[in-house]
Amino acid sequence: MPDHTNPPDPRRRLVPALAACDTPLRAAYDVAMLDLDGVVYRGDGAVDHAAEALSEAAGHGMRLAYVTNNASRTPADVVAKLRALSMPTEDDSVVTSAQAAGRLVADLVPAGSRVLVVGGAGLVQALEERGLVPVRSAQDDPAAVVQGFSPDLGWAQLAEGAYAVAAGVPWIVSNTDTSIPTERGMAPGNGTLVAAVAAASGGVPEVAGKPYAPLFDETVLRVGGERPLVVGDRLDTDIEGANNVGADSLLVFTGVCDLDTAVAAGAYARPTYLAPDLRGLELLQRPVTVDGLEAARCGGVAVLCRDGRLVVDGGAVPEDGQAAVDLLRAAVGLAWHRRDEVGGESGDRLDTSAVRDALRQWGVR
């Protein structure tokens, strides 16, 4: 992944341990900043329980913002997709990295400036919204370059980007995700295309999307709210991004993150809260009590560590969503505590298979 020129953010914080919340999350936070792929939908299909859970949260007054690093589509395109999947959606509740990139560019160049677009319709519209003039050639004398993923992006556009960046104009990119999930597997994401332009031009971009601050700040500006809860399925974009701007976060297990990945998270990529899926918005995050290196309890559930193996005390399988959240929290809370006490990336490799088995019917892998 290429380097970036984003300034350090004083709001950045680390999360040593899970926090507790004694009211449902949808009541404790006034806006949910929801990631899309792996949280709300997967490819073309809705994630199980997402529409019902979000309708319930919205019905109780929680504002919903759908926040995506994908700069190829316009917000209206995303709204249409969400509505087709029965997600509660206002016309202005989708915020994209293209919009955040548009604001960054507008802050750098005079109104009416020409800006070279290496990307798709989402970026073009975001620039026009800011009174900038999208162009497609480095010979159009652009004042800046903005780059984002588009499935139609080819060598010719990347070359135009490289020529303009090499000429020294500011370079803003929507995101640096190295891969994107598709139905046939992982495909190159915008980060790989940014790396191509960086390698040819020697330039270093500023990044608009997660895990960096501009997209989160854009969401607050557009959707409002005093106490946002970032909800995501990826540690390195959603959760680390929340920590980068000092926001609380909920990790769900309906996308890329599995239990072993959550257990292995370093302190800057740890979420505030955990739930199998978006039904967690309606549930409590009860305190985790860690007892030495061998046991942790949350609610009525206890997890023990036996010879490097996490086991559920009594072997019970969670009977309701709250018990599933409690089990997740006890297991991850104990694992993080051991990791921090025992130390190091490789110092404490735990076998989580018994906990994963107990949570399988809740969708946790």
Chain contacts with Mg ion (rule: CB under 5 A): 35, 37-38, 233, 255
CB of 38 to Mg ion, least distance (A): 4
Question: Which lies closer to Mg ion via its Cβ, residue 109 or residue 256?
Answer: 256
Please give the sequence-ordered ranges of beta strands (E in DSSP) within the chain, or none if there are none.
31-34, 41-42, 45-46, 63-68, 94-96, 114-118, 133-135, 144-147, 171-173, 179-182, 185-188, 206-207, 228-232, 248-252, 273-275, 288-291, 295-298, 301-306, 309-312
151-157: list long-range contacts, CB under 8 Å, 24+ apart.
Answer: 151/72, 151/120, 152/120, 153/118, 153/119, 153/120, 153/193, 157/118, 157/119
Determine whether 140 is an active site residue.
no
Count of C-beta atoms within a 10 Å radius of residue 310:
25
Question: Which lies closer to Mg ion via its Cβ, residue 36 or residue 57?
Answer: 36
Q: Cβ-closest residue to Mg ion?
A: 38
Active-site hit among 3, 9, 37, 340: 37
CB of 325 to Mg ion, least distance (A): 20
Active-site hit among 3, 35, 141, 258: 35
CB of 335 to Mg ion, least distance (A): 23
Question: Which lies closer to Mg ion via its Cβ, residue 29 or residue 41?
Answer: 41
CB of 364 to Mg ion, least distance (A): 16
CA 274 remoteness from chain centre: 14
CA atoms within 13 A of residue 206's CA, in its CB half-sphere: 23
Determine whether 37 is an active site residue.
yes
Question: Which lies closer to Mg ion via its Cβ, residue 89 or residue 254?
Answer: 254
Question: Minimal CA–CA distance to 38: which of 4, 63, 57, 66?
Answer: 66
Residues annotated as catalytic (active site), given as ranges? 35, 37
